[in-house]
Structure 1
């Protein structure tokens, strides 16, 4: 990774690599210089090869986070990106689990507070402090090698306690360009996103900043209006979203009257993009190609990509940067059209940090079990049925929550929807839908009989929701994924 930064700093020293709108800009030259300075300061303070260093930053600190991240790697350490929006218990667990030696933060007194036994160093202080007598960060004894561990990302924990996913330098740089003419996103001057630090989507944007011709553009706090202004700003040719951000942007009216013709690519990631939402994006951005990316923190950089195609509404695409397989419970490949476990394979695979039991379940000879059920058609397109733990077993049937959610999104008054299984004394589980109405009149008009009537021509009778919960918002994690376990608790209450 440090070599990649040096390459860009040599090619484009004065180009803006990352910009936080209204806050700060970072050129490649300043990024490289800052990383060298931070690396020297860290080694002077005792950080050695393989030491884990927590990086605790907020959205307005993307430029300093980028400098600190590459500084840790240049010092031979392992970066552990962490959002300042974590709960104190979540932060303490991550730092304890990875046995961090220190924390680099964006402020002197970070929130949430860091455990008292760990030193906390302000990134600004590291940049300002001369590391007198420190070993040169590019000394062979400190320089990282491709197989060395580079980062540990903690998963969202939607299915249990978060796990640390470890990635090597080789994994992070797999497929990186080696020639200036092969830089990604060449149609753009800037790519826009609002992803949180500490998420896999956020880290993808950081790597994009190193490998794309376009510079990264983000904002200190997401609001639909602020995001829409940047969509319209000169040079914004690519926009990355998660489905919840797409829905909020479309429903807010913030795009009304704005010129979106400069956007040529809309990329959606982190959660399934409902076909109805993809169609609305295509209408709002008439010059843009709408692309859905399917991957996971464990599988990256392997992924499938799907250009929105009304004739294949439910497909999530074909593999890019890796291999795809649908297999039986024993891991044996299944023929096209057969439903089974979805696996992706990437070069230089990742692994769970300090969790061999989980590794044996999820990783196998370079393949990553995605935790999803799906099928591949004869043309190689992947169709997801559901997450393993989300499939609802009601009576003699199995219900895909993704299929029911996609149908709910077609209703004009449904802004957001999530479907879960709730206990039923006879059927075992019943289909339950949590819905966020799109308009103030929605709660009065979105009743269970109305929704069931609307869905009757779209779903089988056993797929129709038996219970309905209207909410102001769906519970989501930092990555935009719905916390379905919390929804089940709301229905229980």
Structure 2
């Protein structure tokens, strides 16, 4: 094992060293410079940089022994309680010359079958024996169990492949990862990223490591999500140690903040809503458990205005940051610093160089005008597996599928997802604006809006609301006091008549995927009225 004294490699000021060309190069550098330092904490598990290097090298050898050839796709099937093992497996696949295909262990059998068939994977690495439901016949399985990896053949009597020689180090343009989109509106799409794409922004310069204001940073993102992959790269590149929660609950998450002296907290809006609705938040604040937090970052979906305001108060004086990106666009992103004095905007971008507001033909709109949002990748852009929907990618730019504008002060305003805008009669209604208004109601914990068919207007806005309190109907909780007519009366002061949602349905929880995104196709089925009961 490689061992170095803590802090070795910092050296005197001088020319910045060349950036790493791949994530395995970065890991080798961190292992040599900071071998004893902890990179990832996951519950009781700890992974240091030297151990990460050693274990990923051993697993890379086992993958080659199992027959992995350069460019072969390997599914990594892990849960949030196995983040250290997942990190080892991801780097092992890249070191062996393969292409990593991260997949959460909570993926449905149908989703698993789709990923294996679409990616053409014939190898899978998991945290323990047994394979996910939906794995096709003939797939070979390896285990990263935290000790020595071992091979388990799926088919009885299958013979091992002949070991192949170690591959040459992959070039920056070689594919490294296939990440699947969330599939909230259709079948998940595989998005291919090259080594240069994944390592962009990483450094060997110890003076320029990100998150230097934090001793640790915390997240609870699942394997297989773009947010989770960003945290994996942060674990390799940041000054701070990555703490990842094995399972997200508000109480456990807040205990981790206090236990590890967390300086940077990363959430998706669904997690932020749960944190704000939990009594554990007030208890943590009273006990001083939030005092170390200097940054709260939100990603994966639009953060409702009221939620952003409440976060800024709960974690004061921490800066609330919205990260605007997508699985297709990364590492391109816009970092938005939220301003509580301008809550109608997620924030002002530090730079507008790589953000474009365009008309339908891709031409820039005049300043202040509403149009499609595009992001430009600063490095090798991503692409869909098989080249599907090439209209999303244009010469380094990615169409985000969102409508928005930048005001005269430079603040970004998100109007809505382009596909979610409701065309009701002669009006266009932003579901995002309706959701922001619903979240402003003091008895609403969570809310989402979609368009549903209407016999006269074509479509109207419908909403699902999660009331504050979880008492069942009739027990005297807040949900008994909250009615659809009361919510609509509240919204009269915030929305125009054509924006008022009807119907409004009360749910125990919104349908969300593991990454926290609302499954609007499921919500639409819930909210679509029976046509026999519709009236003009």
Q: TM-score normalized by structure 1? A: 0.95
Q: 5+ residue gaps in structure 2?
A: 1-22, 152-159, 472-476, 530-536
Q: Distance in 2 between matches of 1:36 and 1:311?
A: 51
1:110 CA displacement: 3.0
1:312 CA displacement: 2.5
- 2:95 is aligned to 74
1:243 CA displacement: 0.7
Q: Secondary structure at the match of 2:512?
A: coil
- 1:188 is aligned to 214
Q: Secondary structure at the match of 1:17?
A: strand
Q: Distance in 2 between matches of 1:314 and 1:91?
A: 39
- 2:439 is aligned to 409
Q: Distance in 2 between matches of 1:326 and 1:132?
A: 52
1:381 CA displacement: 2.9
- 1:338 is aligned to 369
1:30 counterpart = 2:57: no
> Are the equivalent residues in 1 in contact too, given 2:251–2:280 (CA < 8 A)?
yes
> Are the equivalent residues in 1 in contact too, given 2:122–2:138 (CA < 8 A)?
no
> Are the equivalent residues in 2 in contact too, given 1:19–1:26 (CA < 8 A)?
yes
1:299 CA displacement: 0.4
Q: Distance in 1 between matches of 2:352 and 2:494?
A: 35
Within the candidate set 180, 188, 193, 1:162 is matched to 188
Q: Secondary structure at the match of 1:236?
A: coil
After superposition, residues 202-351 of structure 1 pair within 5 angstroms as 202-258=228-284, 259=288, 260-316=290-346, 317-318=348-349, 323-346=354-377, 347-351=379-383
> Given the superposition, is the C-alpha separation of residues 381 and 236 from structure 1 closer, same or farther in structure 2, using an over 3 Å criterion?
same
- 2:37 is aligned to 15
| 1:380-402 CA-partner distances (Å, limit 9, x unpaired) | 33211111111011111101111
Q: CA RMSD in A?
A: 1.9
> Are the equivalent residues in 2 in contact too, given 1:262–1:287 (CA < 8 A)?
no
1:322 CA displacement: 6.6
Q: Distance in 2 between matches of 1:398 and 1:349?
A: 33
1:102 CA displacement: 0.7
| 1:439-487 CA-partner distances (Å, limit 9, x unpaired) | 2323222212211111111111111112100000000112111011111
- 1:445 is aligned to 481
| 1:183-204 CA-partner distances (Å, limit 9, x unpaired) | 1111111111110000000000
> Are the equivalent residues in 2 in contact too, given 1:303–1:321 (CA < 8 A)?
no
1:321 CA displacement: 9.9
Q: Distance in 2 between matches of 1:407 and 1:200?
A: 28
Q: Distance in 1 between matches of 2:322 and 2:183?
A: 23
Q: Distance in 2 between matches of 1:415 and 1:121?
A: 43
Q: Distance in 2 between matches of 1:315 and 1:125?
A: 45
Whichever of the two has the greater Rg, that structure is 2
Q: Distance in 2 between matches of 1:402 and 1:132?
A: 53
Q: Distance in 2 between matches of 1:120 and 1:357?
A: 29
| 1:389-433 CA-partner distances (Å, limit 9, x unpaired) | 110111111011111111111111100000011111111111111
Q: Secondary structure at the match of 2:148?
A: helix
- 2:11 is aligned to none
1:92 counterpart = 2:113: yes
1:330 CA displacement: 1.2
1:209 CA displacement: 0.2
Q: Distance in 1 between matches of 2:165 and 2:137?
A: 30
> Given the superposition, is the C-alpha separation of residues 67 and 98 from structure 1 closer, same or farther in structure 2, using an over 3 Å criterion?
same
> Are the equivalent residues in 1 in contact too, given 2:177–2:193 (CA < 8 A)?
yes
1:473 counterpart = 2:505: no
Count of residues in correspondence between the two structures: 487
Q: 5+ residue gaps in structure 1?
A: none
1:144 counterpart = 2:170: yes
1:114 CA displacement: 2.0
- 2:197 is aligned to 171
1:113 CA displacement: 4.7
> Given the superposition, is the C-alpha separation of residues 128 and 467 from structure 1 closer, same or farther in structure 2, using an over 3 Å criterion?
closer
Q: TM-score normalized by structure 2? A: 0.88
> Are the equivalent residues in 2 in contact too, given 1:302–1:319 (CA < 8 A)?
no
Q: Distance in 2 between matches of 1:241 and 1:353?
A: 28
> Are the equivalent residues in 2 in contact too, given 1:386–1:401 (CA < 8 A)?
yes
